[in-house]
């Protein structure tokens, strides 16, 4: 209930600001298009085509010689595009399926746990249930901590971009913070879009450097303070263990390893502690 209020109230309060800045983005789309067009025209005017650089007759000859290969390439391109479209549709269908399954799991979760409890051997039922409850508490704490990290990053980016005069500072900062749930995605998307908008608005590379500095501050704060303190403390991991887990997860399993490193490490720690405590009691 508290988490729901924590999420809904800021959305209701900040929605008018987000709507206003979204309208600013829509109004500036013609400016962005004009900027790209003028940059392309200026570049082409300073780099005129010559026979040495672009020989039309030679291009036509090569096209005629390799027409069969070009046809095969076009066919391969169309096949790849069809497969990619199918993959995109499958991805969104799977995402929808995940939400549906998650809804029914949350609705029937107490009944599922009770049935699992009955299937366990009576000798180990208590210890297994204790481990499961501790793991559930740790994963819940991880999600709450991750939400706090996202909120802090959104505040840092929004305030920093507002201070340097970005017109859509709030919108870019909030999107960057929300996307921070996926490692590096929020940083990359935010810094790219904010730098582009800032350069178009100010035509100053110094302002772009300010944007880079703000996002570097946010990234350093996330990796050295926010994640170790807000996530690591809540799941019972030392800040050094948090950094080490993320590095090992990324090295062994790539992007997915970075995403799941902390909850997996915390659950493993719970299991090891229960095993050691059980052995000490038995001895």
pLDDT tens string 68-83: 665 566 566 666 666 6
Per-domain residue ranges for the chain? 56-104, 128-283
- The b-or-e profile of 124-140 (16+ CB within 10 A means b, else e) is eeeeeeebbebbeebbe
Alpha helices for the chain (secondary structure H): 2-46, 56-65, 67-107, 109-119, 125-163, 169-179, 185-202, 205-221, 239-282
- Tens of pLDDT, residue by residue over 15-39, are 666 666 666 666 666 766 666 666 6
Rounded to 10 deg, the angle between the 185-202 and 125-163 helix axes is: 10
For residues 247 and 214, the answer to whether their CB atoms sit within 8 Å is: no
Q: pTM here?
A: 0.61
pLDDT digits (tens, 9 = 90+) for 204-252: 888 889 999 999 999 898 888 888 888 777 777 777 777 788 788 878 8
The span from the first CA to the last CA of the chain, in angstroms, equals 44
Q: Are the CB atoms for 249 and 260 separated by under 8 Å?
A: yes
175-218-136 Cα angle (round to 5): 70
């Amino acid at each position: 209930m508290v988490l729901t209020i924590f999420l809904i109230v800021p959305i209701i309060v900040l929605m008018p600001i987000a709507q206003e800045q979204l309208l600013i983005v829509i109004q500036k789309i013609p400016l962005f298009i004009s900027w790209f067009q003028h940059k392309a025209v200026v570049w082409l005017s300073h780099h005129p085509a010559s026979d040495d650089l672009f020989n039309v007759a030679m291009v036509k000859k090569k096209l005629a010689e390799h027409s069969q290969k070009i046809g095969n390439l076009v066919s391969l391109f169309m096949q790849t595009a069809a497969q990619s479209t199918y993959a995109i549709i499958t991805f969104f269908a799977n995402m929808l399926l995940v939400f549906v399954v998650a809804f029914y799991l949350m609705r029937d979760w107490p009944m599922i746990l009770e049935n699992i409890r009955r299937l366990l051997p009576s000798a180990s039922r208590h210890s297994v249930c204790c481990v499961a409850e501790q793991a559930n508490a740790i994963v819940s704490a991880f999600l709450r901590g991750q939400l706090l990290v996202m909120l802090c990053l959104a505040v840092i980016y929004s305030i920093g971009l507002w201070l340097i005069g970005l017109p859509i500072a709030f919108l870019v900062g909030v999107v960057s913070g929300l996307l921070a749930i996926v490692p590096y995605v929020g940083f990359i998307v935010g810094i790219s879009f904010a730098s582009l908008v800032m350069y178009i608005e100010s035509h100053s590379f110094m302002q772009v450097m300010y944007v880079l500095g703000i996002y570097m501050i946010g990234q350093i704060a996330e990796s050295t303070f926010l994640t170790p303190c807000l996530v690591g403390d809540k799941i019972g991991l030392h800040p050094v263990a948090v950094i080490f887990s993320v590095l090992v997860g990324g090295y062994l399993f790539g992007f997915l390893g970075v995403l799941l490193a902390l909850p997996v490490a915390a659950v493993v720690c719970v299991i090891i502690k229960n095993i050691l405590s059980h052995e000490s009691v038995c001895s």
